[in-house]
DNA sequence: GATTTTTTAAACCGATTGGTTTAAAAAGAT
DNA sequence: ATCTTTTTAAACCAATCGGTTTAAAAAATC
């Protein structure tokens, strides 16, 4: 009994996420959140409790909507170097596209002491899922002989992650997609050489 | 004629820079700037005009005070791979120290559409000085045979820069200094192998 | 038609934002 | 002692911040 909700929670979350993604946590005032989602301020608070509450749900939403697909590229069986290549090619494609707007997680990581602790921990947990997927690919590549058996997936994973984050911060390279692909080629052949 | 300024412009700039460095542009309210520098609000505006004005001068200050020393490591003659190694070892040392607080430039880059355009361009110009120094080292290394002559300093420079930025964002690696050094070793031997 | 819930708009809260102005006091230079 | 400049504190500005409350209107259920 009682009236139905007029808004679509998914759509609201998506709109809010887009805003946070573009402007960061502190760069996004509640007023704009209200404007872009179309929700009434009152409904907003009833649904999410606070600005921090919205943000945390947006992180989960971002994880599923924006990071799910590239993650699936890392998990395609059989695991190996090809996953890493496919993943980075996809990311380069995105970074060089005009829709590019960095990464919500990276922005929140940099905002660190400004963002709520819970949200930060949430992000770090998700990061670990990502680096875990990297490591699985590298282990498989070592097992199959694609890269030397002596390779250490542990630090190579973080090395790859650093490179990824650097690209996400710096955005489109001055010489475009071709330059980014050269960098990727270099990394891949380095992995093969050990 | 007239009274002398009681404050030391350098010290004021340094205090303000530290704050911006820690909290970013939007995370730093004018009130805290006033509190930390000890300047009166009125004097602040007479000296710098606006918050954006203070920030721009802090960028230049940061460039000289925080980035000058690592840059000099890249410029030590004779140029070559050793400069790159010394530079990254120094950066790793800093990143793993407890004084670490990321990089003002990286933070401002991420805040991008929130930060004044002039400041952003200022930063990008300085970044180019840095990548230029990288490129010079790589060229010298290619000339002397430290790395293959076929190496392309252009994209290798951006590759190194991406890695650097990634480290600055992610902070101390979970396994500490040793892990970061392994990553550096890997990069250097990759450069040598081509 | 009674009940329950959502929606809406508005008023309201105290605090803070970047920024300006005023006016008096303090200090240096001539 | 005079003139200039800096310093200080305070008042002031409109706007915005995250957040709460109220009360009426609009639906949906029974």
Mean pLDDT of A137-161: 95
Which residue has the closest alpha carbon to D6 C1'?
Answer: B3
CA distance A23 to A36: 13
C1’ C16 / CA B31, Å: 9
pLDDT at B91 over 80: yes
Could you tell me the pLDDT band of residue A61, with boundaries at 50, 70 and 90?
Answer: very high
Q: What is the pLDDT of residues B40-59, one digit of tens each?
A: 999 999 999 999 999 999 99
pLDDT over 70, % of chain A: 97
Q: What is residue B114's predicted lDDT score, i.e. its pLDDT? A: 64
Nucleotide nearest to B54 (CA to C1'): C18
A54: its two tokens: 């919205």
Confidence of residue A91 (pLDDT cuts 50, 70, 90): very high
Residue with smallest Cα–C1' gap to D22: A42
Would the pLDDT of B2 be above 70?
no
Q: How far apart are CA A176 and CA A93, in angstroms?
A: 10
Q: What is the mean pLDDT of residues A25-54?
A: 93
Rounded mean pLDDT, A32-52: 94
pLDDT on residue B6: 78
Q: Which residue has the tokens 């530079």?
A: B87
Convert the pLDDT of each residue in A107-144 to its tens digit.
999 987 667 778 899 999 999 999 999 999 999 999 99
**pLDDT reported for residue A7:** 85
Of A125, A95, A104, the closest CA to residue A27 belongs to A104
What's the average model confidence in pLDDT over B5-29? 92
Which pLDDT does position B5 carry in this prediction? 78
pLDDT reading at B4 higher than 90: no
Token output for A176: 């475009």
Q: pLDDT tens for residues B154-190?
A: 999 999 999 999 999 999 998 999 999 999 999 999 9
* Residues 116-135 of B, Cβ under 7 A from nucleic strand C: none
Supply angle C-alpha A47, A49, A53, rounded to 5: 100
The gap between B2 CA and C30 C1' (Å) is: 10
Of B83, B89, B167, B172, give the one whose Cα is nearest residue B130. Answer: B83
Quickly list DSSP for A152-191: -HHHHHHHHHHHHHHHHHH-S-TT-HHHHHHHHHHHHHHH
Task: Please state whether strand D lies within 7 Å of residue A145 at its CB atom.
Answer: no
Find chain B residues with C-beta within 8 A of A110's C-beta: 24, 102, 106-107, 110, 169
Q: CA(A77)–C1'(C22) in Å?
A: 74
The first and second tokens of residue A85, run together, are 């290549």
B45 in contact with nucleic chain D (CB within 7 A): no
Nucleic strand C contacts from chain A, 9-68, CB < 7 Å: 39-43, 46
Q: Taking chain A, what is the end-to-end CA distance rounded to the nearest angstrom?
A: 65
**Token pair of B151 as six digits:** 């190496």
Angstrom CA distances, A28 to A18, A88, A94, B43, stand at: 11, 30, 24, 31
Q: Alpha-carbon distance A63 to A138, whole Å?
A: 23
Strand D footprint nucleotides (protein C-beta < 7 Å): 3-11, 16-23, 26-30
Distances (CA, A) of B132 to A148, B57, B79: 34, 23, 13
pLDDT-based confidence at A105, cuts 50/70/90?
very high
Average pLDDT score over residue span B72-93: 98
Q: Which bases of chain C come closer than 7 Å to a protein CB?
A: 3-11, 16-23, 26-30
CA-to-CA distance for A171 and A168, rounded, in angstroms? 5
- Give the gap in angstroms from C-alpha A1 to the nearest C-alpha of chain B: 45
pLDDT at residue B10 greater than cutoff 80: yes
Q: Are A20 and A58 in contact, with CB atoms under 8 Å apart?
A: yes
Q: Which nucleotide is nearest to A49 (CA to C1')?
A: D19
What's the pLDDT score for residue A2? 67
Quote the CA–CA distance of A162 and A126 in Å, as a whole number: 15
Among residues of chain B, what percentage have pLDDT more than 90?
A: 87
Report yes or no on whether pTM surpasses 0.85.
yes
* B169 exposure class (CB count in 10 Å sphere: 0-12, 13-18, 19+): buried
pLDDT at A4: 81
Across chain A, mean pLDDT equals: 94
CA–CA min distance A114, chain B (Å) = 7
Give ∠ CA A173-A174-A177 in degrees, rounded to 5: 50
For B107-154, how does the pLDDT look when each residue is reduced to its tens digit (9 = 90+)? 999 987 666 778 889 999 999 999 999 999 999 999 999 999 999 999
Q: Of B134, B135, B130, B76, give the one whose Cα is nearest residue B105.
A: B130
In this structure, what DSSP letter does residue A79 have? P
Does the distance separating the beta carbons of B22 and A179 come in below 8 Å? no
């Amino acid at each position: 009994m009682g009236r139905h909700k007029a808004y679509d929670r998914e759509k609201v979350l998506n709109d809010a996420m887009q805003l946070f993604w573009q402007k960061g946590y502190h760069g996004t005032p509640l007023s704009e959140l209200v404007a872009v989602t179309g929700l009434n301020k009152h409904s907003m608070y009833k649904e999410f409790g606070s600005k921090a509450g919205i943000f945390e749900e947006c992180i989960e939403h971002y994880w599923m909507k924006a990071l799910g697909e590239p993650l699936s590229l890392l998990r395609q069986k059989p695991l190996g170097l090809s996953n890493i290549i496919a993943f980075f090619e996809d990311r380069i494609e995105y970074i060089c596209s005009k829709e590019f707007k960095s990464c919500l997680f990276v922005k929140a990581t940099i905002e660190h002491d400004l963002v709520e602790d819970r949200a930060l921990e949430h992000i770090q947990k998700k990061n670990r899922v990502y680096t875990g997927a990297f490591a699985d690919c590298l282990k498989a590549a070592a097992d199959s002989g694609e890269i030397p058996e002596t390779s250490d997936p542990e630090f190579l994973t973080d090395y790859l992650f650093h490179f990824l984050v650097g690209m996400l911060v710096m955005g489109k390279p001055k010489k475009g997609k071709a330059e980014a692909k050269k960098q990727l080629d270099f990394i891949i052949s380095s992995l093969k050489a050990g």
